[in-house]
Amino acid sequence: MHIFDSVQKTKRLFTPQNESKVTLYVCGPTVYDDAHLGHAKSALVFDLLVRVLRANGYAVTYARNITDIDDKIIKKAVEQNKSIKEITEFYTDAFHKEMAQIGVSRPDLEPKATESLDAMYMLIRKLIDSNHAYQTEDGDIYFDTSSDSQYLTLSKRVQNEDEKINRVENSSHKKNSADFALWKSVKDGTVVFDSPFGAGRPGWHVECSAMIEKHLADKDMNFAVDIHGGGADLLFPHHENEAAQTRCGTNHALANYWMHNGFVNIDGEKMSKSLGNSFFLKDALKVYDGEVLRFYLLSTHYRSNFNFNQEDLAASKKRLDKIYRLKKRLFGLAEDRDKTLFQEELLKALSDDLNISNALALIDEMVTHANETLDTAGKHKELKAETLSNLAYIEEILGFGSKNPFEYFQSGVDDETKTKITELILKRDEAKKAKDFATSDKIRDEILSYGVSIMDTPQGTFWEKV
RNA sequence: GGUGCCAUCGCCAAGUGGUAAGGCCGCAGCCUGCAAAGCUGCUAUCCCCAGUUCAAAUCUGGGUGGCACCUCCA
């Protein structure tokens, strides 16, 4: 397996620290609002990574945190006159439900910031004791970036002199402009935790370092985790700061491999909270099938920026439809359990830094070949069993094709309409039998008016929602 | 301003030195009562210029054009 390391900026052979065991940590959502397409993309990318790692025989422990302590959460709670817990539980629950709809499996561990405060206190204490952090007179605790000779080596940023001056003016209590808060003392009485350093709340960056140390890290290893992932925007400052804290506060570096997924743009525009053009997953799910969204969002390489638009989504749907039509063609038959050459090639493609384009090309070719053979006369018992095994493998490793193929094509159609369509198809079949094509075509037009298309096959007439 | 990334058919998108995968759209055909679905065939020399090399979409230099991060963000 090869992984592009976004810190070393090169594709590296993946070798876990601990033989066949792999630890993966991904920065999860801050639960103060609905998940947008970017959250979906990130969750999908790492869901795929875990599936591919497991298919390669690794025992993976995958952790994705829930940030449930944050100023924006508190702001929302105050605005809506609700408790913090009500807000975070509502959005955490929504996040889980929406992720399930796009086929994202739950991580093995889902640590919450509120459940990891002890680990944060411990890490902050270590950083203070080792002179990597200091407390100001108003109670804030900052990480002293000048104490870490390796600071900025992760993002390879060069500090700008003008920026330095501006920031120091804004926050005169900091020793260095780049110093970031580990602990914010809070005086407004809203939400505070009683820490050994006084009342306040933890800084964002310290949450992840502490959670990794508490829930995932192997203390004896050179790296806390094998792989650390997240959105491309997190490289700086979030991951830079996380790495600094872990490096200075523990006996190991944070991660051996870093993976950052590209962004989702909407019709060429960046989607961001400040621009207010977020496309929420829940809204997309009202219009599009979850699995189509999964296929579409995964259809472009994870590191590329992704431009969401309806035309490309429609093309993805057609591509996924072909998988389901083949599945429909073989419905109810028994599969073969032997691993096929196709499966080996598919895994090989995905093991090359998740080369999804090559993987999809292999799938298209497999589907076409299977259809071609099935079109010709003969029973092809072996091919059918093998193809079903291939489809099952695609489902396992990519999460495509998990539904009943008939339901997939008819989702969103109510029972009353379904009954009506079935009746019309029967009527049309009778007209066809009697060679009354004028009537049968008229009935077909009526069926089409329900927004479905029909197809005559040797097994009978089937219909699909358009 | 600093740092970094990218530029391949109408659209999406692989390919990082050996002579351009795949999908969508389009055209022609097979199949079909006609369709739909499925299948077959056809459709690019890789932003521009210069260089390195027996050989470059792939490497180097210079342009041009996009984009990202530097501020909460996946």
Q: How many CB atoms are closer than 10 A to CB A39?
A: 23
pLDDT at A172: 58
Same domain membership, residue A355 and residue A232: no
Same domain membership, residue A384 and residue A438: no
Check if residue A441 sits with its Cβ under 7 angstroms from strand B: yes
How far apart CA A36 and CA A28 sit, in angstroms, is: 13
Apex CA A334: angle with CA A329 and CA A336, to 5°? Answer: 110
Same domain membership, residue A259 and residue A142: yes
Residues 269-288 of A with CB under 7 A from strand B: 270-274
Apex CA A133: angle with CA A131 and CA A134, to 5°? Answer: 100
| Residues A43 and A5: beta-carbon distance below 8 Å | no
pLDDT at A275: 63
Q: What φ, ψ does residue A152 adopt, rounded to 5°?
A: 80, 5
Domain count, chain A: 3
Same domain membership, residue A46 and residue A23: yes
Of the residues A200, A231, A266, which one is the last residue of a structural domain? A266
Check if residue A173 sits with its Cβ under 7 angstroms from strand B: no
Q: Evaluate whether residue A307 is within a structural domain.
A: no
Q: Evaluate whether residue A369 is within a structural domain.
A: yes
Residue A190 CA and nucleotide B29 C1' are separated, in Å, by: 73
Q: Which residue has the tokens 């009697």?
A: A434
Segment A310-352, tens digit of pLDDT: 999 999 999 999 999 999 999 999 888 789 999 999 999 999 9
Say which nucleotide is closest to residue A180, CA to C1' distance: B71
Q: Evaluate whether residue A309 is within a structural domain.
A: no
pLDDT at A167: 46
Residue A315 CA and nucleotide B25 C1' are separated, in Å, by: 9
The b-or-e profile of A411-449 (16+ CB within 10 A means b, else e) is: eebeeeeeeebeebbeebeebbeeeeeeebeebbeebee
Residue A135 CA and nucleotide B56 C1' are separated, in Å, by: 58
pLDDT at A276: 66
Same domain membership, residue A147 and residue A74: yes
Same domain membership, residue A202 and residue A85: yes
Residues 147-166 of A with CB under 7 A from strand B: 155-158, 160, 163
Q: Evaluate whether residue A356 is within a structural domain.
A: yes
Residue A29 CA and nucleotide B74 C1' are separated, in Å, by: 8
pLDDT at A334: 87
What residue ranges in A358-459 does DSSP mark as E strands? 452-457
Peptide bond into A237 cis (omega under 30): yes
How far apart CA A106 and CA A91 sit, in angstroms, is: 16
> Cα dist. A388→A48, A329, A330, A363, A444 in Å?
21, 10, 7, 13, 32
Rounded CA Rg of chain A: 27
Q: How many CB atoms are closer than 10 A to CB A194?
A: 9
State which residues of chain A have pLDDT below 50.
162-169
Say which nucleotide is closest to residue A71, CA to C1' distance: B72
Same domain membership, residue A76 and residue A154: yes
Same domain membership, residue A212 and residue A178: yes
Check if residue A40 sits with its Cβ under 7 angstroms from strand B: no
Q: Tell me the β-bridge partners of A463.
A: A454
pLDDT at A222: 95
Q: Evaluate whether residue A142 is within a structural domain.
A: yes
A44: domain range? Answer: 2-266
Helical residues (DSSP H) of A194-249, grouped into ranges = 204-215, 240-249
Say which nucleotide is closest to residue A167, CA to C1' distance: B71
How far apart CA A317 and CA A84 sit, in angstroms, is: 39
Instruction: Give 3-state DSSP helix, strand, coil % of chain A, rounded to 5.
Output: 50, 20, 35
ipTM of the complex: 0.95
> Cα dist. A310→A69, A275, A297 in Å?
36, 21, 12
Same domain membership, residue A251 and residue A144: yes
Assign residue A152 the CATH number of its domain: 3.40.50.620
Q: Evaluate whether residue A445 is within a structural domain.
A: yes
Residues 379-438 of A with CB under 7 A from strand B: 432, 437
Q: Evaluate whether residue A104 is within a structural domain.
A: yes
Q: Nucleotides of chain B within 7 Å of a protein C-beta?
A: 1-5, 11-15, 21-25, 32-40, 67-74
Residue A239 CA and nucleotide B69 C1' are separated, in Å, by: 13
Same domain membership, residue A377 and residue A247: no
Residue A237 CA and nucleotide B50 C1' are separated, in Å, by: 40
Same domain membership, residue A416 and residue A399: no
Residue A169 CA and nucleotide B13 C1' are separated, in Å, by: 48
Q: What φ, ψ does residue A231 adopt, rounded to 5°?
A: -70, 155
Residue A357 CA and nucleotide B8 C1' are separated, in Å, by: 14
Residue A312 CA and nucleotide B12 C1' are separated, in Å, by: 6
Burial environment of residue A410 by CB neighbours within 10 A (0 to 12, 13 to 18, 19 or more)? middle
Say which nucleotide is closest to residue A235, CA to C1' distance: B69
pLDDT at A88: 96
Among A29, A19, A105, A102, residue whose Cα is nearest residue A62: A105
Check if residue A111 sits with its Cβ under 7 angstroms from strand B: no
pLDDT at A379: 77
For B12, nearest residue by CA–C1' is: A312
Check if residue A65 sits with its Cβ under 7 angstroms from strand B: no
pLDDT at A278: 77
Same domain membership, residue A435 and residue A345: no
Q: End-to-end alpha-carbon separation of chain A, Å?
A: 39
Going A42 to A48 to A52 to A57, the CA torsion angle's sign is: positive
Assign residue A397 the CATH number of its domain: 1.20.120
pLDDT at A345: 96
Q: Evaluate whether residue A251 is within a structural domain.
A: yes
Residue A164 CA and nucleotide B69 C1' are separated, in Å, by: 17
Check if residue A453 sits with its Cβ under 7 angstroms from strand B: yes
